[in-house]
Amino acid sequence: ANTVIGAGVVMGQDCIIDSNVTLAYSLLGDRVAICAGARVGQDGFGFAPGPDKHLKVPQLGRVIIEDDVEIGANTAIDRGSGPDTVIGAGTKIDNLVQIAHNVTLGRNCFVAAQVGISGSTKIGNFVIFGGQAGLAGHLHIGDGARIGAKSGVMSDIEIGATVGGFPARPLKEWLRGIAVLRRIALKKVK
């Protein structure tokens, strides 16, 4: 009900598209599942400052969703502005996730609810995102990286690294910082 399969959409075998989904300019592999309310292939946030007003940058790319991907309810995946936005095979995306234009998300990633990935970020395979993590644009996230919930990622992350906090840094370093702040706060109270 109320699903729109728009221009430039090609779907593979055994796809499941729920109600209130909008698809445009997308290539879906086999066994892709898209939950209710998702928007895939819409224009990204592409603007350039002009002397008198902001100018819209044409969004000409597609969204390529490989086999066995699941996309949660009310998630938005923007089409590429030139290069395509790519979601790798086996990746699982929770509800309310925003994936901006030109993002490449590797194979078998887990993306928890309310994660936001800014444009042109390149993400490796088997990366795990905790809920509400946010990534700046044009980053490189290595294979197997783990990003803690509510982390603010503002720089590249190495292969296999585990990070947390804002700005995101190695998890043990962030946890030590929290412990030090707690000890300082408790001393001030006494």
Q: Are 48 and 27 in contact (CB under 8 A)?
A: no
In the prediction, which pLDDT does 185 show? 83
Q: Point out the residues that are catalytic.
A: 101
Spatial separation of the C-alpha atoms in residues 168 and 154, rounded to whole Å:
7
In the prediction, which pLDDT does 82 show? 87
More confidently predicted of 176 and 14? 14
Q: How many CA atoms lie within 13 A of 130 on its CB side?
A: 14
Q: Kindly indicate the confidence band of residue 184, based on its pLDDT and cuts at 50, 70 and 90.
A: confident
Q: Kindly indicate the confidence band of residue 8, based on its pLDDT and cuts at 50, 70 and 90.
A: very high
More confidently predicted of 57 and 140? 140
What would the pLDDT profile of 23-82 be if each residue is shown by its tens digit? Answer: 999 999 999 999 999 999 999 998 989 999 999 988 999 999 999 999 999 999 999 998
The mean per-residue pLDDT over the stretch 117-137 comes to: 97
Strands 26-28 and 128-129: unpaired
Query: What single-letter DSSP state applies at residue 157?
Result: B
What value does the mean pLDDT of the chain take?
Answer: 95
As given in the structure block, the two tokens for residue 158 are 């190495």
**pTM for the full model?**
0.92
In the prediction, which pLDDT does 186 show? 82
pLDDT of 124 above 70: yes
The mean per-residue pLDDT over the stretch 99-109 comes to: 98
The mean per-residue pLDDT over the stretch 106-114 comes to: 98
Count the Cβ atoms, other than its own, within 10 Å of residue 70.
Answer: 16
pLDDT of 190 above 80: no
Spatial separation of the C-alpha atoms in residues 136 and 118, rounded to whole Å:
5
Contacts of 75 (CB under 8 A, 6+ apart): 35, 38, 39, 93, 94, 95, 96, 97, 98, 99
Query: Considering the chain, what percentage of its residues have pLDDT values greater than 90?
Result: 85
With CA atoms as reference, report the closest residue to 115 among 84, 148, 86: 148
Strands 162-164 and 169-170: antiparallel
In the prediction, which pLDDT does 71 show? 98
pLDDT of 189 above 80: no
Strands 76-78 and 128-129: unpaired
